Amino acid sequence: MGKNIVLIGFMGTGKSSIGIRLAQKLKMEFVDMDREIESVIGMSIAEIFKRYGELRFRSEELLIARKMGMREDTVIATGGGTVLVDGNITALRENGILICLDAIPADIFNRVNRKKGTRPLLKKNVSVEDIERLLQEREGFYACADIRVNTSAKNMDTVINDILQALNQMELAENSCLRVNL
């Protein structure tokens, strides 16, 4: 059974856009957890937060994460806060390699500003400093990744190549461990 590739990382690091391209390249399926939640509830993420609050969103997220753990050969884009809940990580690790996409705060700031109003946890006039602070608060959670890839100052093809290279290295390392153990 083929492992899933799970993209984690802060808002605006490119999890969805890179995930779609990566899945095409590897001929794997692609699932975006936020889009799954939206289709289950029938509302946008912003509407879910506004109507029912973050707690409801997180409980839907946990259900979807558990479903994702049962998939195979799928590239999964998580939400920026999926890693905050232990149960999500456990479920996604079930059959997945966790790759964290990183970006510098200024890049995140520019990217999230292009899609204003879609991210309920960021206030309208969010600053680079706000993003820096949130990133620091969450760093310990993103550190659970098997692989980390920096996306700043790179085009999409370079990021995809970096991911593929890191996956190859991981596979090589796992195989050599196997040989040593045998």
Q: Is 52 in the site for ligand S3P (CB under 6 A)?
A: no
**Contacts (CB under 6 A) with ligand S3P, residues 22-41:** 34
Q: How far is the CB of 45 from ligand S3P (least distance, A)?
A: 5
The stretch near ligand S3P (CB under 6 A) out of 19-27, 88-96, 118-126, 171-179 is: 118-126
End-to-end Cα spacing for the chain: 22
Q: Is 102 in the site for ligand S3P (CB under 6 A)?
A: no
Q: How many residues bind ligand S3P (CB under 6 A)?
A: 10
Biggest CA–CA distance in the chain, Å, is: 57
Q: Is 80 in the site for ligand S3P (CB under 6 A)?
A: yes
Residues in a beta bridge with 62:
none
Give the number of other CB atoms < 10 A from CB of residue 92.
25
Cα dihedral 67, 73, 75, 80 sign = positive
* Region class of 42: left (phi > 0), else alpha (psi between -120 and 50), else beta: left
Q: Is 96 in the site for ligand S3P (CB under 6 A)?
A: no
How buried is 136 (Cβ within 10 angstroms: 0-12 exposed, 13-18 middle, 19+ buried)? exposed
Give the number of other CB atoms < 10 A from CB of residue 114.
8
Pick between residue 152 and residue 170 the one whose CB is nearest to ligand S3P. 152
Judged by CB under 6 A, the residue of 19, 69, 81, 105 near ligand S3P is: 81
Q: Is 119 in the site for ligand S3P (CB under 6 A)?
A: yes
Q: Is 45 in the site for ligand S3P (CB under 6 A)?
A: yes
Judged by CB under 6 A, the residue of 14, 19, 69, 79 near ligand S3P is: 79
Give me the residues that bind ligand S3P (CB under 6 A), please: 11, 15, 34, 45, 79-81, 119-121
